Structure 1
């Protein structure tokens, strides 16, 4: 009886359990019963499932163009399964260097390289697999940066303009100031108190900015550069660049105008007037075929309702009433001051103002005839770079000799110059905001007037580096930078963020500085166009040495000091001048002592104290302290007898930078092997050379910085595509303690940390 009761209970419990199981959304796919004489046993056989892994979107660290990096992918698997494979697709800005793989512990990674000559946003999509189960698609996004940045102009922490040489200025409706400079687009959101600078690092086509146009909101910024039209849709944070690939007549863009009614873009280029009705996706180019006076178009403007296009060209002012389908051209026959028209402006009433190289020409009848205004009416100069008319009808003519203002329709002008506070009398463009504040882009700063032009305050670069033509550089043990520039000796104690400039006011012989050297005692030696200037107080003041102290010439090209005794060796245009008493007196060495030429460019010493002098007639070597020299020329294998620089490495190998290549000697100058573009040099014109302790050779050429890792057998060249300030590298310096390359260029100092 008891057994029967147990059997009944077991059956009831099993039945209840089957009901519970069947009501759940479980993975149990089959329930079977097996009955024995004494009991019923429940058996379940689960069918396992494998959920797909979840791939996560990632933002890896930024990396440099043409640089290899490994990116680790991210995923999660519910069952804890390890990924066994991965796949990459949709690459943007990168090249896959090694396929995506997953190791035995499930870590997946891919090795990529930044695409050649590409900087900007990069990305790729990826999936991971656990066995045969594939994840969702995730996205990896990052920034591909230039190998080199140029200081100061590529730094964005500006408190002032990128460069003092300005070409354009504009102010949007909310008061943001946009200034086109020779070194980038400087933007101020606080009335000019401080600026952030935009360059090719943000996507501009070129750092040489000729004009800028903004919409009223300041959101869309259109920038005319020397290498395309750069457009920003985020207030200047980033730019996309439009070129001939999109239909521009030329990549050299002189001006840009946007119709605020329909956002049609009009781009003045050296190859025609390009028009886009699709936000810059494509352009149709108008040329002399459509009636332009000349394909070299310097300015463009529209009338109030956008129905008439006015194009300033080198052959007249061209006017279209059919959207650019055809143009009629106005010339001196209609009264223009010159057929070379530099700019054009149309006021709300339809009056035409044409800035020409022969005056400011004004038409009140749609261009049928013009009246020309010149210095006779008070213009500062007949060459008028641009013209602007404010809402009250006041005319502002930007001339080569001042800003000329007329309050009576051009009958007479009052000219404003440096006497009124302008930074420079050459005014390239003027803009007046709704409050009547005047912004004048001059060749030396942005001049702002809040009193109708009575007075101006001028904003210039406060980095202190002066003109950005940098010829030489030196760094001390604290990484303080000393830059020889065409406007003085610029010194930075904060890694190049800011510079203070030393000039003749501090005792330099001249503001034209061609070389700088730091002595072992801490003295600073500066080669100038007016003597050798020496500072023993960290650059606070300088004493200048000239021919009065025995220099061969006051034109000093470079300077070197010996480590032990700190003898001074000054390469001048009149010989090599040597001082053994801290510059009190010099003895001068010339062709009489065996120099190849008295015009010397560089000097250095090897570990034995032998002197090497780069000169216009070869490389001259002295083994007796300068008493006599033997001269090496093309007869010994030099690429050219014009030698600009010389370097001696730790093995006492000689490297001569010549006009015909980089010449290398491993036998004390008995013979040289010459390296040229055949070995990969950017150009055979080599300006400077440096060799680090590992034997890597860095050659500054007229077409970039060329680097060799194999003793000069092969070189790879770095140029503006990699962020070098200009195509021409003037010299090179390696700070091995910080693994940093410094390249003086015509556009600042280009820096790369390796």
Structure 2
């Protein structure tokens, strides 16, 4: 089970952009805009960044990694201060385009290769074309287990042994273009953002099918990609293109929908919140899921929300995301997120996440389910209303014999947790 604090990560992303920007918002209610973004503190070289030009950022827990034009800057105190890593520490080049981390392993996409650290970023070993990379100009990186994906200037390079060696994929394998700006993977599905379209593989990167403007992309130059379930987001030179059918077709969002600029350089999504890095600023959507509030004292906001995307039906329950949060409930109050078998009531309730909301009574995060046996399950989110009343929302899902989600119910309110 993995938890992403998406509200905090969004703040960090904004805080690390060392240039002026305007924030555009897609379909955000005033209440939600206020709840999602309040104020920001900008970090610069005075705080330890290698350069004020920050090309990418990743955060997990209190560790923040900033890919800059002057090195990889690492914070262990939530972004308050940074220590900068350079070629002296083993980086292939001080220009770092992207970064990813998993545990103590840190991956830095540099202009001189893919630099990998096994000690939290203290030292790096650099991988180059000698190790199978398509190019030493690495523009993006992603890793999942022993699989490492490097988006390079001359192909998508894939490692199945933790980055020791790579096999390079090109247009011969179905990529839209050999210039790969970004990469994301979920299970055996691999997404490559290229100069010639969004290339999608269903076989772990062996072969790719390419999506272009003919499939609804805003532009064939795709600079970034992210996916959650069957929803795929492509950052293009002509807008943010969103697919609800696994990448088969796309609907494009532009400045007419609130984007700061139609040139979108990166995208990240968590639940109903989408962050698009554009040439005109960081554009954020913050639409809440349906049934977003629950309260025994109030039928509207403030309240809690819980969502399991019905589009996940037919996909594996393992790794399926659950989105939960709160707005304006009792400050610093406790919340829980749990799953319990309905089919076998003898099984104990498993707590997926618990903690406290912030001092404004807000919470916004995503939790991934683990493997579940076939049967019916209820997913329960609890919180405390500002009045002191308990809030409870429940989703029901079924898991079939193959381990896939068979059905998802709408959220329902109940007066107590069994």
TM-score by length of 1: 0.35
Contact 2:219 2:236 in 1 (8 A): yes
Provide the residue aligned with 1:208 in structure 2.
53
Contact 2:181 2:224 in 1 (8 A): yes
Q: By how many angstroms is 1:436 displaced?
A: 1.7
Q: By how many angstroms is 1:447 displaced?
A: 1.2
Match of 2:232 among 395, 402, 406: 395
Contact 2:49 2:82 in 1 (8 A): yes
Q: Distance in 2 between matches of 1:312 and 1:185?
A: 27
Match of 2:199 among 353, 361, 372: 361
Provide the residue aligned with 2:135 in structure 1.
294
Q: 1:207 to 1:295 in 2, by over 3 A?
A: same
Match of 2:247 among 410, 417, 424: 410
Contact 2:188 2:205 in 1 (8 A): no
Q: By how many angstroms is 1:393 displaced?
A: 2.2
Provide the residue aligned with 1:183 in structure 2.
19
Matched, 1:248 2:84: no
Match of 1:329 among 168, 176, 179: 168
Matched, 1:338 2:171: no
Matched, 1:272 2:140: no
Q: Distance in 2 between matches of 1:384 and 1:315?
A: 15
Q: Distance in 2 between matches of 1:419 and 1:185?
A: 18
Q: By how many angstroms is 1:183 displaced?
A: 2.4
CA RMSD of aligned residues (A): 2.3
Indicate the SS of the match to 1:339: coil
Larger Rg: 1
Q: Number of residue pairs matched?
A: 274
Contact 2:7 2:36 in 1 (8 A): no
User: Where do residues 217-236 of structure 1 align in structure 2 (5 Å cutoff)?
Assistant: 217=61, 219-236=62-79
Q: Distance in 1 between matches of 2:68 and 2:34?
A: 22
Indicate the SS of the match to 2:150: strand
Per-residue Cα deviation, 1:13-42 (whole angstroms, up to 9, x for no partner): xxxxxxxxxxxxxxxxxxxxxxxxxxxxxx
Provide the residue aligned with 2:405 in structure 1.
none
Per-residue Cα deviation, 1:484-536 (whole angstroms, up to 9, x for no partner): xxxxxxxxxxxxxxxxxxxxxxxxxxxxxxxxxxxxxxxxxxxxxxxxxxxxx
Indicate the SS of the match to 2:165: coil
Provide the residue aligned with 2:412 in structure 1.
none
Contact 1:268 1:298 in 2 (8 A): yes
Q: Distance in 2 between matches of 1:252 and 1:185?
A: 22
User: Where do residues 544-563 of structure 1 align in structure 2 (5 Å cutoff)?
Assistant: none
Provide the residue aligned with 1:449 in structure 2.
285
Provide the residue aligned with 2:28 in structure 1.
none
Q: Distance in 2 between matches of 1:225 and 1:444?
A: 20
Deviates more, 1:265-274 or 1:437-446: 437-446
Q: Distance in 1 between matches of 2:83 and 2:36?
A: 26
Indicate the SS of the match to 2:42: strand
Q: Distance in 2 between matches of 1:301 and 1:315?
A: 17
Contact 2:68 2:96 in 1 (8 A): yes
Q: By how many angstroms is 1:182 displaced?
A: 4.9
Per-residue Cα deviation, 1:603-631 (whole angstroms, up to 9, x for no partner): xxxxxxxxxxxxxxxxxxxxxxxxxxxxx
Q: By how many angstroms is 1:450 displaced?
A: 2.4
Per-residue Cα deviation, 1:174-227 (whole angstroms, up to 9, x for no partner): 5342235352899x9962222110000100000001000000x2x110000000
Contact 1:321 1:327 in 2 (8 A): yes
Q: By how many angstroms is 1:440 displaced?
A: 1.0
Query: Unaligned 5+ residue runs, structure 1?
Result: 1-170, 454-754
User: Where do residues 663-682 of structure 1 align in structure 2 (5 Å cutoff)?
Assistant: none
Indicate the SS of the match to 1:289: helix
Contact 2:17 2:42 in 1 (8 A): no
Indicate the SS of the match to 1:175: helix
Match of 1:285 among 126, 147, 158: 126
Indicate the SS of the match to 1:193: coil
Q: By how many angstroms is 1:273 displaced?
A: 0.2
Provide the residue aligned with 2:223 in structure 1.
385
Matched, 1:312 2:151: yes
Indicate the SS of the match to 2:256: helix
More relative contact order, 1 or 2 (CA 8 Å, 6+ apart)? 2
Q: Distance in 1 between matches of 2:245 and 2:117?
A: 37
User: Where do residues 629-644 of structure 1 align in structure 2 (5 Å cutoff)?
Assistant: none
User: Where do residues 653-732 of structure 1 align in structure 2 (5 Å cutoff)?
Assistant: none
